[in-house]
Structure 1
Amino acid sequence: MTGRGRLPRVDRMTSPPPRSPGAPSSPRPRRAGARLTLTLASLAMIGPFSIDSIFPAFTRIGAEFGADEVGLQQLVSAYLAAFAVMSVFHGPLSDALGRKKVMIGGLVIYLIGMFGSIIAPSLGSLVLLRMLQGMSAGAATIVSRVVIRDLFDGAEAQRLMARVMMIFALAPAIAPIVGGWLLLLGDWRWAFAGVGLYGMVVLALTLTLPETLPPEDRTPVRVRSLLGSLLHVGRSPVMLRIAAATAFGFAAQFLFIAGASIFVVRLLGLGEQDFWVLFVPLIAGLMSGSWVVGRAAERMPRSRLITVGFLGVVATTALNLLLVSLLPGPPGGLSLALLPAVIGPMLIAFTVALVFAPIQLEVLDLFPHQRGAAASLGTFFSLVLNALLAGMIAPLVSGTLVSFALTALGFALLGLGFWTWHLRTHARAVQQVAG
């Protein structure tokens, strides 16, 4: 029961793995400095800025190109679908070429797609450019998580992941606000230009990062090796259960982000500059939850924290359903009547944050020799579901606030179900090993 057997995976549920060939051979820093933390957080924020900053521009894009609500949602779903497909390859490529090269190459292609959007002559061409952005953005966001685990073990890795999450959480709040302000300068193209400028700053910061995977620890640069790595990781039942739990749990919150333009403008009756009403409470919840994760790094076993988080997601989505069910009707303007509609999403975000950082480390520790591939496949399921949320599910369930809340509760229950299945399977494995 060694090597690729069950026993090492059982051990990794409760303690970090020993240093492996998938980690840097040079001495690791004991603590993450502010510069490293901010750079990694900036890389992670590429995704939210790419999605949320253009929400305020939807009305103007639709007016110029004659697009309806469903057509405009494809600007989000096309980005997410392309992100999901390419996410499978970013991690293995970083295992073969090194983390830094993949991140920089992805950012360069991303900037081409973002600035190309400024001159898009039609909605179809804009959707294609959004696909290019999605194909390349994952190189920054996915690989930056692997860098954290390359550099740090155990509690410090969880603390750094939580700090990155706290800063990252600002992006969904800032992005739509900045997007709305940029529209005061001109048409919808200003929103894309603003994100492009942010991408240039992130590229400059990435150039200062060290390479965390030395050449002697890399996998061969061959298609067969890359696909073999993905196959080895992808056929792990443990990986599949944890990835499914992550995807559904996060979807309980992401539903509100993917459908933000519908939720804020139509269901709450607000305008282009009012997206902060949803996103500020969401971010407050995410930051608070991430702070708790950092404080719990040495106080609570990782699997127990994840369990508490999933139970919390179910409880808060149920509370959100109760709150919106008691509303007499759409608030229809900025007033205290909005509070029941936004308190629920804030609490959901808090509990989702309890899950996000520790479960990412759980995935990476399953395959210490193939962290890039593990990060890619661990993210893939969430991204596919997010794309479906943006392009199909959010428009379908956007009839009322109650239908939004019911859908979020359904995702939360599925996430808890997969995590419970994983824990029970793990417990049986422990008993078999002990026997």
Structure 2
Amino acid sequence: GGNAAQAQLVLATFAAGTGIGLVLFGEIGARHDNRRILVIALGLYGATSLAAAAAPTLPVLVLLRFLQGVAASCAAVVAPGMVRALFSPRGAMRAIGFIGSVESLAPAIAPIIGVWLLHRGGWQASFLVTGVLALALAVLVAVAGRILPPVAARRSGHSYIVLLTNPVFHRYALSQGFALGSLLVYVFGMPVVITATLGGTLGDFIAMQLCGITTFIIAANLASRVVARFGAERVILGGSLLSLAGLGALFAYGLAGGRDMAVIIGLFLPFNMGFGLRGPPGFYCALQASHGDDARASALVLLFVMAATAGGTALAAPLVTDGLAALAAVALALALAGIACLGLLPRLAGAGTAAAAADPAEEGERAGEAGA
């Protein structure tokens, strides 16, 4: 048993564990074989999930959820480096877009599956299912891990300090964090805006999300082709400006007192399309700017996303009951901060296209690893 505050703590500690795990696995991933780290993390996630299903008290569940958060962060840190080692620059960008597409489906599908499991087997069912799946995946990676690249550690000259003092890395990492943060802040606030100020229902929010996710998936999977034609820098800036235009239109519509959900959904589409186009090349260029320190770079990009989202959500929380314009204004401020990063910070040398952005020495090093 427990009270509502303790129940909220279960969610908060998972998020805290994820943040700590990003930093932890970023450092470990830069020093050791990422395949082994992934197996260990999946095993830890599976074990803590099964233990959570049998947790005797809420405080024990809170602790286990914290450990789950730590373990859950591993894949997000090590996967981008594996993708870069497996594919050409354009292929890696395409893979990042596909991964982002799959991840975007989780917020839409997970609650439906969660409710079904809750009715079928109680609150423990979700932990049991995810625990078994994680352990099975750990075994699969351990047995068939040879198909994944080792992503050899690159210790010399790399550290979080080096990345945090690299303005080129910050150009892409911070702009990515602000861009995705603005989208998440808007999405997190819209259920209250729709139901409390627009007279709508959660069904309207679901419809908005489905349209937005579909648009994002299409754009993210086209991003590599668009980059091949126009170059990474143009696509990153163009996508950011497209998102800004959508947000600006939503802000103006809210100021004008607009309440039509069809219009709001229509204006939400360019917001999603813009991030779908700029997301894959933005993340890829952040990895390129790290000069091989993929694990730490991935961790920092995701931390920037979390920080922008948390800060923006905190700013928007007391304003969401004021309506669409107030929420859009907060998201707009984050989007403008991301574009400011693109305007003020130095770009990656030769980043006109994904291929030009690649470090030739690094590409040769990865080719040598693959040949070995």
The 1:80–1:257 alpha-carbon spacing in structure 2 relative to 1, beyond 3 Å, is farther
| 2:292 partner letter | H
| 2:85 partner letter | D
> Could you say which residue in structure 2 is the equivalent of 1:281?
211
Correspondence 1:29-48 to 2 at 5 A = none
| 1:146 partner letter | G
Q: Say yes or no: does 1:305 pair with 2:235.
A: yes
Residue 396 of structure 1: SS of its match in structure 2? Answer: coil
Given candidates 405, 410, 413, the residue that maps to 2:333 is 410
* Maintained 8 Å contact 2:97/2:221: yes
In the TM superposition, what is the alpha-carbon distance from 1:237 to its structure 2 partner?
Answer: 2.1
The 1:274–1:115 alpha-carbon spacing in structure 2 relative to 1, beyond 3 Å, is farther
Give me the TM-score of the superposition, normalised by structure 1.
0.69
* Maintained 8 Å contact 1:320/1:343: no
Counterparts of 1:168 and 1:316 in 2: how far apart (Å)? Answer: 22
> Could you say which residue in structure 2 is the equivalent of 1:183?
118
Correspondence 1:180-329 to 2 at 5 A = 180-185=115-120, 187-200=122-135, 202-207=137-142, 208-209=144-145, 210-213=147-150, 217-219=152-154, 229-259=159-189, 262=192, 270=201, 276-325=206-255
The 1:172–1:246 alpha-carbon spacing in structure 2 relative to 1, beyond 3 Å, is same
> Could you say which residue in structure 1 is the equivalent of 2:79?
144
In the TM superposition, what is the alpha-carbon distance from 1:270 to its structure 2 partner?
Answer: 4.2
Residue 4 of structure 2: SS of its match in structure 1? Answer: coil
> Could you say which residue in structure 2 is the equivalent of 1:352?
275
The 1:261–1:229 alpha-carbon spacing in structure 2 relative to 1, beyond 3 Å, is same
| 2:225 partner letter | R
Counterparts of 1:269 and 1:187 in 2: how far apart (Å)? Answer: 31
* Maintained 8 Å contact 2:167/2:346: no
* Maintained 8 Å contact 1:284/1:346: no
* Maintained 8 Å contact 1:95/1:219: yes
Counterparts of 1:65 and 1:308 in 2: how far apart (Å)? Answer: 49
* Maintained 8 Å contact 2:94/2:223: yes
Per-residue Cα deviation, 1:352-383 (whole angstroms, up to 9, x for no partner):
12121111111111233322222222322222
In the TM superposition, what is the alpha-carbon distance from 1:140 to its structure 2 partner?
Answer: 0.8
Counterparts of 2:235 and 2:253 in 1: how far apart (Å)? Answer: 26
> Could you say which residue in structure 2 is the equivalent of 1:395?
317
Range 285-294 or range 191-200, more displaced = 191-200
* Maintained 8 Å contact 2:26/2:77: yes
The 1:339–1:110 alpha-carbon spacing in structure 2 relative to 1, beyond 3 Å, is farther
* Maintained 8 Å contact 1:100/1:211: yes
Counterparts of 2:272 and 2:249 in 1: how far apart (Å)? Answer: 13
Per-residue Cα deviation, 1:115-143 (whole angstroms, up to 9, x for no partner):
34434566555443332222111111121
In the TM superposition, what is the alpha-carbon distance from 1:91 to its structure 2 partner?
Answer: 2.7
Q: Say yes or no: does 1:377 pair with 2:300.
A: yes
Residue 85 of structure 2: SS of its match in structure 1? Answer: helix
Per-residue Cα deviation, 1:375-430 (whole angstroms, up to 9, x for no partner):
2223222223334456x345334324423222111111111111111258979xxx
Q: Percent identical across equivalent pairs?
A: 22
> Could you say which residue in structure 1 is the equivalent of 2:4?
67
Per-residue Cα deviation, 1:305-353 (whole angstroms, up to 9, x for no partner):
1000111121111122234455666xxxxxxx54344444443222112
More helix, by proportion: 2
Given candidates 35, 48, 52, the residue that maps to 1:100 is 35
Give me the TM-score of the superposition, normalised by structure 2.
0.79
Residue 185 of structure 1: SS of its match in structure 2? Answer: helix
Q: Which blocks of at least 5 consecutive residues in structure 1 are unaligned?
A: 1-63, 330-336, 428-435
| 2:4 partner letter | A
Counterparts of 1:73 and 1:388 in 2: how far apart (Å)? Answer: 18
Counterparts of 1:86 and 1:349 in 2: how far apart (Å)? Answer: 28
> Could you say which residue in structure 1 is the equivalent of 2:98?
163
The 1:117–1:384 alpha-carbon spacing in structure 2 relative to 1, beyond 3 Å, is farther
| 1:299 partner letter | R
Per-residue Cα deviation, 1:23-60 (whole angstroms, up to 9, x for no partner):
xxxxxxxxxxxxxxxxxxxxxxxxxxxxxxxxxxxxxx
Alignment root-mean-square deviation, CA = 3.3
* Maintained 8 Å contact 2:45/2:72: yes
* Maintained 8 Å contact 1:252/1:348: no
Residue 169 of structure 1: SS of its match in structure 2? Answer: helix
| 1:349 partner letter | N
